[in-house]
Amino acid sequence: MEVMRAAAEREALGDPVYHLEVGQPGSTAPKGVIQAAKDALDNHRLGYTVALGIPELRAAIADHYAREYGVSVPQDRIVVTTGSSGGFLLSFLAAFDQGDKVALVAPGYPCYRHILTALGIKPVIIETTKEDRYQPSPALLEKAQAEHGKIDGLIVASPSNPTGTMLSKEDMAALAEYCGQSGIRLISDEIYQGISYGRGFETVLSHADHAVVVNSFSKYFSMTGWRLGWLVLPEDLLRPVECLAQNLFISPPTLSQVAAVAAFDCREELESNVARYAANRDLLLRELPQSGFGDLAPSDGAFYLYADVGHMTNDSLSFCSRILKETGAAVTPGLDFDEARGHRTMRFSFSGTTEEIAAAAAALKDWRP
């Protein structure tokens, strides 16, 4: 947020800013979704819906699993939520009790640990390395349990934010099996699914129906501000989540729900967004090492590159501030993603236009710390 504030101040002065700090698509919602929203504004009452979401959207999501992953998910296990953020709140509340321990990796998306802490659930941080591909494994979980005692849950994200790394099919299966055998509730954040480079898509549902899946229209579907996501739940969490959703949210946003049904028919436009991310990623992978940012996480998906800049700084916050001031490139220091080691890392987002990413790379080329 500090980088974004500094970037906005710079823009207000008329200086150029290249936005490599953003965590959202540079594109709008697909045309079909926008048209469906316009039709709904004209013709729909847009009152509350049932708490679990409109049946048409739940059915479209179930179809999506059958078509894209060959997995049969009954519609009544799908719950539409207010972004995946709403899904985290609902599933954490339903799955865990105060004092429970939930493991998650660093570097990782900071809101997981913030939401857990706000609910009185204890985050157990597993520090991962490039050798682990920044992903958890049964061995790392075993070690965490030896150190912290019985772990009640695990949050995993593939592709991950901020590293973009993915779990292979085998690794995902091994993790799901370990969690099933050890009584660890597995929560799989699949929000960046659909955005990957050369790797197939994988859902934990292919391996375990005891897992909780959290997903969203914010990234692949390019509908960030529409605040819509979904959960796929195991049977035992359905009723608790329904009760919580009714009381906390009444229903997810109706206009977004009605329009999102069309999102699954907008493949061509959505795939052209992914092609743009792929071109931007290639460009940065080519250019960044020449500017000293060569120690990158092996990113297979999402729209991020995570760099170790320990050879250039021990203070990523002021390092990123200087980069912004001296080149106009807004980039994110690693501190939020990894409290212990983020002082030596940073994240580049390549979700913008290719012109913007190319301009940022050119500005970084001659810059030296």
Ligand X SMILES: Cc1ncc(COP(=O)(O)O)c(C=O)c1O
| Site residues for ligand X per CB under 6 A | 23, 83-85, 109, 157, 161, 189, 191, 216, 218, 224, 229
SS3 of 46-100: the string is CCCCCCCCCHHHHHHHHHHHHHHHCCCCCHHHEEEECHHHHHHHHHHHHHCCCCC
Closest CA to 20 of 368, 369, 362: 362
Task: Please say which residue, 27 or 218, places its beta carbon nearer to ligand X.
Answer: 218
DSSP per-residue codes, 146-191: HHH----EEEEESS-TTT-----HHHHHHHHHHHHHHTPEEEEE-T
What is the pairing mode between strands 185-189 and 345-349? unpaired
Closest CA to 256 of 81, 37, 54: 37
Task: Please say which residue, 216 or 291, places its beta carbon nearer to ligand X.
Answer: 216
CB of 303: closest distance to ligand X in angstroms?
10
What is the pairing mode between strands 304-308 and 345-349? antiparallel
Task: Please say which residue, 128 or 327, places its beta carbon nearer to ligand X.
Answer: 128
CB of 270: closest distance to ligand X in angstroms?
16
Task: Please say which residue, 196 or 313, places its beta carbon nearer to ligand X.
Answer: 196
What's phi and psi for 130, nearest 5 deg? Answer: -60, -35
Task: Please say which residue, 49 or 216, places its beta carbon nearer to ligand X.
Answer: 216
CB of 366: closest distance to ligand X in angstroms?
31
CB of 305: closest distance to ligand X in angstroms?
14
CB of 286: closest distance to ligand X in angstroms?
25
Task: Please say which residue, 53 or 229, places its beta carbon nearer to ligand X.
Answer: 229
What's phi and psi for 274, nearest 5 deg? Answer: -65, -35
Which single residue is written with the structure tokens 């823009």? 11
Task: Please say which residue, 110 or 234, places its beta carbon nearer to ligand X.
Answer: 110
CB of 296: closest distance to ligand X in angstroms?
18
Task: Please say which residue, 287 or 339, places its beta carbon nearer to ligand X.
Answer: 339
Task: Please say which residue, 91 or 224, places its beta carbon nearer to ligand X.
Answer: 224
CB of 22: closest distance to ligand X in angstroms?
9
User: How far does the chain reach from its first CA to its final CA, in angstroms?
Assistant: 23
Long-range contacts of 119-125 (CB under 8 A, 24+ apart): 119/89, 119/92, 119/93, 121/92, 121/96, 121/97, 121/153, 124/148, 124/151, 125/339, 125/340
What's phi and psi for 32, nearest 5 deg? Answer: -60, -35
Sign for the pseudo-dihedral over CA of 319, 320, 322, 327: positive
Chain residue at closest Cβ approach to ligand X? 83
Per the CB < 8 A criterion, the answer to whether 263 and 257 are in contact is no
Task: Please say which residue, 109 or 277, places its beta carbon nearer to ligand X.
Answer: 109
Structural element, H or E, at residue 273: helix 267-287
CA 251 vs CA 2, 239, 286, 326: distances in Å: 33, 15, 46, 46
Show the tokens assigned to 8: 């906005």
CB of 249: closest distance to ligand X in angstroms?
13
CB of 82: closest distance to ligand X in angstroms?
8
Show the tokens assigned to 366: 């001659």
Per the CB < 8 A criterion, the answer to whether 308 and 129 are in contact is no
CB of 225: closest distance to ligand X in angstroms?
9
